[in-house]
Amino acid sequence: MRTSAIAVMCTVFLVASSYAGSDDDQHVVLVSVPATATGGFGNVIGGSGNELHGLPFVAAYTANGPGVIRVAARGEWTIWSGGPMLGPDGYFETSPTVQCPLVEAAGTSWGVSAMGGALIGAFVPASVVSMPGFSPVDGSKGLATIGIAPSSLMYIGRAAFIQISGPGTLFLGINDADATVFDNSGSLTARVAGP
């Protein structure tokens, strides 16, 4: 593991169904992601945003080097009491009062549509993850000494290929504003393979 900072560029190739291919020369893990794993991301009009209501993002996979991380997810969760159960792809949502994490990541304003309740993630370089004080939470809100930059969030959904150029950890969570997590329930299981 290098101790110097490593710039890791990620490219996500989304696919509509479970990924194909073999797991030859790859490590495979199964990880459960609860509907409350918001990582403190997202905003609500009138909310302070400086405390964590849900859980941190889940460390799903630690890669040793460059290559492709493959994710396939199943299961159901809901983002409001009495609401429909959603799969990993989420649903098309527009809210004038809630800025979901992917909208926050894009730096766009309130009322912009995004896939609410979708599985999302962030690949964080090993040089950042290994720093004292790192926590897989929104790094822009003072929730941890060092956290995840909202701009690094990406849509994962049911399946994704993530090209990485160096070692690091893929963290997974839900595309729902942290302050609204109180009525979330359910979980997804992600099968993750990579270098």
Q: Does domain 11-194 have CATH number 3.40.50.300?
A: no
For the cut 80, the answer to whether the pLDDT of residue 12 exceeds it is no
> Given this model, what pLDDT does residue 49 score?
56
- For residue 176, give the amino acid letter: D
The mean pLDDT of the chain is: 84
| pLDDT over threshold 50, residue 108 | yes
Sequence ranges of the domains in the chain: 11-194
User: Cβ–Cβ contacts within 10 Å for residue 182, how many?
Assistant: 10
How far apart are the C-alpha atoms of 164 and 121, rounded to whole Å? 13
Residue 106: which region, alpha, beta or left (left: phi > 0; alpha: psi -120 to 50)? alpha
Tell me, yes or no, if the pTM score tops 0.95: no
pLDDT of residue 124 exceeding 60: yes
| Predicted confidence band of residue 50 (pLDDT cuts 50, 70, 90) | low
Burial class (CB in 10 A: 0-12, 13-18, 19+), 20: exposed
Q: What is the pLDDT of residues 15-32, one digit of tens each?
A: 333 334 455 547 899 999
Which residue's structure tokens are 């994962």?
Answer: 156
φ/ψ of 25, rounded to 5, equals: 60, 25
